[in-house]
Amino acid sequence: MKAIILAAGYATRLYPLTKDFPKPLLEVGGKAIMDHIMEKIARVNLIDEIFMVTNARFYSHFVDWASQSDYSKPIKVIDDQTTSNENRLGAIADLQFVLEQEKLDDDLLVMAGDNLFDFELTEMVHFYQRVSTDTIAAHEIDDLNFLKRTGVLQIDANGRVMDFEEKPAQPKSHLACPPFYIYRQSTLPLIKQYLEEGNNADAPGNFVPWLIRHKEVHAYKFEGKRFDIGTLESYHEARELFAKRY
């Protein structure tokens, strides 16, 4: 299994902090957001290589970070060659960019580089192995306004995803999907098909409602907190919480 970290956004909502510095390398709890993520990935034995896709503006920042890291799994930083929020590829197009450039043909763990979370990725991978289908993460959220800013799904009694909507105006459930996905090797060609059909290449969750019409997908429900570092307020909230924890 390979891991792909999506980190090519420009985080305009966090300006001025991220005007010249990438959001995933901002400090929370004494280390970069990306270090929190990498520590979870490092514990997944199946993963043997990590690819981090970013943009031309922040490429050198991630290269410097990777060169100073001592994680056991090799990390390759990839420049998607975009230079601004206006010419960005979008997360799904970035995913396809990595698949083509690196000629990947393995099961994939795909994650955004700006989320902090309590659960262990090893548990999600074990669930994925049991169900033998594409797997997305899910957790219960009571905040209606938050649900309108994330992916919301509905599942059946066996955990199969029956409906998914990205950033719904009227959420149909309280089950939110953060950007953590495991895709089977056989699913990878469908990402290219999705893009060739002219579908939305931006948020990674946009692929899921299309995918569930073509393949069986299950949701791994986790407990605990998850922070989407999308605004200055959410960033400061995460820093305060982690300062208390550590």
Of 13, 203, 228, which is closest to residue 115 (Cα–Cα)? 228
Query: How does strand 75-79 pair with strand 151-155?
Result: unpaired
Q: Across-strand partners of 166? A: 151
- Please tell me the distance from the alpha carbon of residue 41 to that of residue 3, in angstroms, as a whole number: 8
Q: Which residue has the tokens 């299309």?
A: 210
Whether the upstream peptide bond of residue 209 has omega within 30° of 0, thus cis, is: no
209 in Cβ contact with 165 (< 8 Å)? yes
pTM of this structure: 0.93
pLDDT at 106: 96
Domain 2-245 - what CATH class? alpha beta
pLDDT mean by block of 10 residues, the chain; 246 residues: 96 91 94 95 96 97 95 96 92 97 97 92 96 96 87 93 91 92 97 96 91 96 87 88 73
